[in-house]
Chain A
Amino acid sequence: MRLNRVLAIARKNLRSLKHDRRTAGFLVLMPLFMITIFGYTFGGNVKNISVDIVNLDLAPANESLSLLIVDDIGSHETLSIEHSYQPGQAGDGQVAASRERVKDADIWAAIVFAPDFTEKANAALEALRNGTTVIPSALTIYIDGTNPNIVAAIVNEIQRSVQVVLVTSGTSLVPPIVVVPSLEYGQGAEFIDFFAPGVMGLAAMMVTFMLSIISFVHERSSFTLDRLLSTPVTEGEIVAGYALAFGIVGLIQSVVILSTAVLLFDIVIEGNILLVLLIIFIFGVGNQGLGFLLSSIAKNEFQAIQFMPIVLFPSILLAGVFWPLEAVPELLQPISYFIPLTYSVDGLRSVMIRGWGLDQVWPEVTILVVFAAVMLGLSILGLKRRR
């Protein structure tokens, strides 16, 4: 293998990208777009869920717990109160009307405080202090259950608010058991920190695979491959040149994603950035090999594009990019372990969130190196086969 020929092939591919401004722009902007959109969509909490509040609580204003809760809800962004009906203004008719609005999907939920809400709550607190039991007070939420995320957000917000009011109004009792989570890693980590390594792996995979399969199908269909093979360049040098060029493209993308994630979303990188880039590079090279390999089965660009969903969907869904592998159905989990993206994302997370070094992520790195080596080896063999 001669380096000058490897570099010639790599340079050829990078030069093509340089002249094709739109593709080059796409390669930089796509990961930027991905991390920004995904970051804002998944990173933030659900906000401004429209609700009605029907407060029938008859307690005097200075004693009313329901008013405190409503105030607290109003001071947060999760729920957006469309109509708030105060005690005295509202009756059972208003409950029915707001439920109707839920059914018509005008609002997501109607939160109803019963007339005896404060009275019962106080009685229950009193009973707790005395060691007796009574039926606790309740507030009822009529929810449109179409979207489980929204349901969870509404219920959590109201529970949180109730808790706050009970504590600040000094009526709360100390719970008998306190659970103390003590984080070994990821103190202060938000969902975006979990998510950014996943997007980096995914972007690197999408682009190196796509570039490689499309350019190589074109190389075959336009017979430039024949011409290359009639020169002294070897099959191995062609594959290495491609891997180098598209590995570099993957690296540039990772830098874009990392900088965006740090600048825009304030993510924390605990480990060594060079190790992060190394993992991406090896992974990119592997996917380049995969694209190369599949390009020999595709007869034209159109057929090449058909491989993209086949390769991308299982990876997106099963490799732990958006949710942990534990959330993947048990039946499908074995597949997850055959998807290289799984190890890439896992390794990246360990470095970026746990701050691990090569001494700890070597299993993932080894698997990725094997993946890349097998893909490149098979690509070379495929090229060497002559009719």
Chain B
Amino acid sequence: MSAKGIDERSTGISRTRDGDIDAIRTSKLRKEFDGLVAVDDVDLKVGHGLLYGMIGPNGSGKTTIIKMLVGLLKPTSGEASVLGERVPIKANVENIGYMPQELAIYPDLTVHENLELFSELYSMDGETFKTREKELLSIIDLSSRRDSLVSQLSGGMRHRTSLACALVHDPELVFLDEPTVGVDPELRAGFWKYFSDLKSKGKTVILTTHYMDEAVRCDLVGMMRGGRLIAEGTPDALMNEAGTKDLESAFLVFSKKVVK
């Protein structure tokens, strides 16, 4: 990226920090695969510094939305902007982290080599990376396995490595697609603590999850079904509106409404 790019980036941040521009905004965002509607005219608005959870069953369009927002898929119609840039973004992609649902790290490299690769792709300088790596490894509790091949790690450890790769460059905005699937309860609690830490540092976290009990910890929850955003709000507001005591039942209530 040229010097000009860096300027654009920093102005992007300052504008967004003013709160004028949302971290994410979509308008009638739509994606069809061979005529099948995966995302059906979704309007999203996520402010800065929020922990936003997308919940919904498999195939409800959560991953497709994220893939459009990080520029891996082209919307069929509608618009989306991320950190004030229309997608597909390249200008301030340095400020975005993405952890795909599939772990998507290199099994034949060590934990350190995976982290280093991503740090290099984000053009981090060596010293900054060193400090950052130490910090991240202690957060994901893998300091002792820094030089182990990922293929020799347990599933949970790979998961943590994958998360660290998405965060290595300390992004403003992170997309985490099912970050806690297959993660044991103890570690899950650790993850959530870290997500709140990120939030408290002013970062925006967008994540998808199956676990309704996790979604309660989000500032905002978007419920997806059949490619549509069927309800959105704080967990309390959603439960109030549905007249239920938990999000799972609330989801079923909203789901039924849509069917009717």
| Chain A interface (Cβ < 8 Å from any Cβ of B) | 2, 4-5, 7-9, 11-12, 15-16, 19-20, 222-224, 226-233, 386-387
Contacts and interface: CB of A to CB of B under 8 A. Distances in A.
Contact of A232 (B72, B73, B74, B94): B94
Most buried by A among B88, B98, B121: B121
Interface string B102-117: 1111111110010001
A12 B93 contact: no
B100 A19 contact: no
B109 A19 contact: yes
> Shortest 4 CB-CB distances between A and B: which pairs?
A8-B120, A230-B98, A223-B102, A223-B104
Contacts of B140: none
B122 A386 contact: no
Interface string B17-50: 0000000000000000100000000000000000
* Residue with the greatest number of chain A CB neighbours at <10 A, chosen from B70, B108, B122: B108
A2 B123 contact: yes
Indicate the member of A15, A16, A19, A232 with the most B CB atoms within 10 Å.
Answer: A232
Given A223-B104, A224-B105, A387-B33, A19 B149 contact: yes
A231 B118 contact: yes
13 contacts: A7-B120, A12-B117, A15-B113, A19-B109, A19-B110, A223-B100, A223-B104, A226-B104, A227-B104, A227-B105, A230-B72, A231-B122, A387-B73
Nearest to B117: A12
Given A4-B123, A232-B90, 4 more contacts: A20-B108, A229-B72, A386-B73, A387-B33
Contact of B109 (A15, A229, A386): A15
A2 B1 contact: yes
Contacts of B88: 386
B214 to A, nearest CB: 23
A233 B104 CA distance: 16
Given A224-B105, A226-B100, A12 B113 contact: yes
Main secondary structure of the interface of B (DSSP, over half): loop
Contacts of B121: 5, 8-9, 228, 231-233
Given A230-B96, A231-B93, A232-B90, A12 B73 contact: no
Contacts of B102: 222-223
A2 B6 CA distance: 14
B145 interface: no
A358 B71 CA distance: 45
B217 interface: no
Interface in B40-91: 67, 70-74, 88, 90
Contacts of B221: none
Contacts of B93: 230-232
Contacts, number: 78
Contacts of A7: 120
Contacts of B136: none
Contact of B122 (A20, A224, A232): A232
Nearest to B1: A232
A379 to B, nearest CB: 18
A226 B175 CA distance: 13
Residue of A12, A222, A227, A229 contacting most chain B CB atoms (<10 Å): A227
Contacts of A4: 120, 123
Nearest to B100: A223
B19 to A, nearest CB: 25
B241 to A, nearest CB: 35
Contacts of B73: 386-387
B206 interface: no
Given A12-B106, A12-B113, A19-B108, A5 B74 contact: no
Contacts of B74: 386-387
B161 to A, nearest CB: 12
B109 A226 contact: no
B98 A227 contact: yes
A202 B88 CA distance: 41
A226 B120 contact: no
A227 B100 contact: yes
A2 B3 CA distance: 13
A234 to B, nearest CB: 8
B216 to A, nearest CB: 28
B167 to A, nearest CB: 13
Contacts of B218: none
B165 interface: yes
A176 B81 CA distance: 92
A15 B113 CA distance: 8
Nearest to A387: B73
Contacts of B113: 12, 15
A19 B105 CA distance: 15
Contacts of B107: 222
Interface in B125-149: 149
A11 B90 CA distance: 24
B104 A16 contact: no
